[in-house]
Chain A
Amino acid sequence: MAYSEKVLEHAENPRNVGTLDKDDPNVGTGLVGAPACGDVMRLQIRVGEGGLIEDARFKTFGCGSAIASSSLATEWLKGKSLAEASTIKNTSIVEELNLPPVKIHCSVLAEDAIKAAIADYRAKQSVKAARESA
């Protein structure tokens, strides 16, 4: 199976690799997958004052398609509101990267990582709100 140009490009030059402070209340972290399954994605977002995602970072253990899917996800997340970010679907990632059927799970994992990061951010915010109102 040959890799698509776009997968190769992202895998060779991954965007937004890195780590945000997971203890920062404005940072949401999603860690999905398992080493035993051959892929683990960690996707992080930092939400700014206006509720927009001002930074997104990832680290991925996985095949080239998994790396490309998470790299692409971080690009798409930046500048989006949480509501917009939650509408990102794995099928759009499949389409953009021309992923073959055996690699669809990589895109599913990326979508899961986005959802997990948003959920983590929201959980932190509700704890923060609860503390402030207490």
Chain B
Amino acid sequence: MPIQFPIFMDYHSTTPVDPRVLEEMIPFFTQHFGNAASRNHAFGWHAESAVDVARERIAKLIGASSEKEIVLTSGATESNNLAIKGIADFCRDKGRHIITTVIEHKAVLDTCKRLEKEGFEVTYLPVDTDGLVDLNRLEAAFRPDTILVSVMFANNEIGTVQPMAEIGKLCRARGVLFHTDGVQGIGKVPFDVDTMHIDLASITAHKMYGPKGVGALYVRRSKPRVRLVAQMDGGGHERGMRSGTLNVPGIVGFGKAAKILTEEGVAESARIFAQRERLHAKIASRIEETYLNGSRDHRLPGNLNLSFAFVEGEGLMMAIKDVAVSSGSACTSASLEPSYVLRALGVGEELAHSSIRFGLGRFTTDEEVDYVAELVVQKVLKLRELSPLYEMFKEGIDLKSVQWVAH
């Protein structure tokens, strides 16, 4: 099959809608356009039953025991906000301490920062060089007034998958609620809210071949029954937890996307894992001073985050501009700071600037993998010829001993 350009290798940022998903969505724009809250006519009934089917499919994907545990939202940012602020509001008389990690998505970190301004205390757990949370540190962080632990399932930059079941066990034993931002990992690596003792989980459709603008928050209904304060006032939709007319076509697509992953996720992950390993081997075997960021063993199958020493990430992205990837380089962020996730692993600033994240997914082909591997090898070698740092490295100069003139 001929390769189509540009090549998409940024599946952590978003994914294309699977054609099977789109097909199921289309009738709900024009034909079955009813408001799922219209309880008194056929248009409403049709929409509501389609939404219920979607809820069941989403519940099944994550091991929820009832579709009533799925609260539909606009996406994972909203789900994270609703989970953390909603629990904080509900439990503020019980306690005001929250535990999370330093490598969470901004939707969690900035939500926690806002709560700190409102008088909550937040412990940000560090991670080890693989990006894993230290369970002993978590255990030590619990306080009598801890109300919530929020730890992401899989990291969006480095793909590190956290020990959910162990974390859940520690929380459950203390009666502390456990929330996870499950966006990157659900459907890609085994996930089950019961065996992992998860009380709240954020999901989004567009990371799993569904449409953008629709997500969900799993809210456990029994043992324990989780209650939270709605963050949006209105018609009392979603059992009073999230008001707003349901995005029926989006939800139908979300449900279909969940069904496909329930049925095909395991086989798909195995294929993508093999492609990821192939890409890594082809690159690392030919370029010296290449470093893998994140855990080798506890990792999303589609994630490859590499630092190419002496080459700046955005410079490399420009050199491979027919391939869509992402970088932890400051030049690609608005803040001009390199990735806080890589810094949290102890990756030096210079290697953080040199990082590239390859994200492989459902539609990645072997031909694309081989093409990208070859292109990256050629361009890294070319950029190293252009790099004064590589020249100094080759001359045996220790770059750390140089007095740099920072600007």
Chain A residues within CB distance 8 Å of chain B: 3, 8, 11-12, 14, 17, 19, 31-42, 59-64, 66-67, 102, 105, 108-109, 112
Closest to A59 in B: B388
Instruction: Give B382-404 interface residues, CB cut-off 8 Å to A.
Output: 385-391, 399, 404
Which B residues lie within 8 Å of A34 (CB)?
Answer: 404-407
Q: Is the CB of B386 within 8 A of A14?
A: yes
Q: Is the CB of A38 within 8 A of B331?
A: yes
Interface stretch (choices B87-95, B117-125, B144-152, B310-318): B310-318
Contacts A36-B406, A112-B407 hold; do A64 and B318 have CB atoms under 8 A apart?
yes
Contacts A61-B312, A62-B312, A64-B318 hold; do A38 and B388 have CB atoms under 8 A apart?
no
CB distance from A122 to the nearest CB of B (A): 18
Given A33-B404, A34-B406, output 9 extra A-B contacts at Cβ < 8 Å. Answer: A3-B318, A11-B318, A11-B319, A14-B386, A34-B407, A35-B399, A36-B404, A37-B406, A60-B388
Which A residues lie within 8 Å of B329 (CB)?
Answer: 38, 63
A33 to B349, CA, bound (A): 13
Contacts A14-B386, A38-B330, A38-B331 hold; do A64 and B315 have CB atoms under 8 A apart?
yes
User: For the complex, is B350 an interface residue (Cβ under 8 Å from A)?
Assistant: yes
Which A residues lie within 8 Å of B311 (CB)?
Answer: 61
Q: Is the CB of A59 within 8 A of B386?
A: yes
Which A residues lie within 8 Å of B385 (CB)?
Answer: 17
User: For the complex, is B338 an interface residue (Cβ under 8 Å from A)?
Assistant: yes
CB distance from B340 to the nearest CB of A (A): 15
Partner of B310 from A12, A61, A63 at Cβ < 8 Å: A61
Closest to A36 in B: B349
Q: Is the CB of B405 within 8 A of A33?
A: yes
Which B residues lie within 8 Å of A108 (CB)?
Answer: 407
A106 to B350, CA, bound (A): 17
Interface residues on B, range: 20 to 34
Chain B residues within CB distance 8 Å of chain A: 310-312, 314-315, 318-319, 321, 329-331, 334, 336, 338, 348-350, 353, 385-391, 399, 404-407
Q: Is the CB of B391 within 8 A of A66?
A: no
Contacts A17-B385, A61-B388 hold; do A32 and B405 have CB atoms under 8 A apart?
yes
A42 to B387, CA, bound (A): 9
Partner of B388 from A12, A31, A105 at Cβ < 8 Å: A31
Which B residues lie within 8 Å of A14 (CB)?
Answer: 386
Closest to B318 in A: A64
CB distance from A107 to the nearest CB of B (A): 12
Which A residues lie within 8 Å of B390 (CB)?
Answer: 61
Partner of B318 from A40, A63, A102 at Cβ < 8 Å: A63
Which A residues lie within 8 Å of B349 (CB)?
Answer: 35-38
A112 to B334, CA, bound (A): 24
15 pairs, A vs B, C-beta closer than 8 Å: A11-B319, A12-B319, A17-B386, A34-B404, A35-B399, A38-B329, A38-B331, A38-B338, A59-B386, A60-B386, A61-B315, A61-B388, A63-B318, A67-B386, A102-B334
10 shortest interchain CB distances as A-B pairs: A34-B404, A64-B318, A35-B350, A36-B349, A63-B314, A42-B388, A38-B353, A59-B388, A63-B331, A34-B406
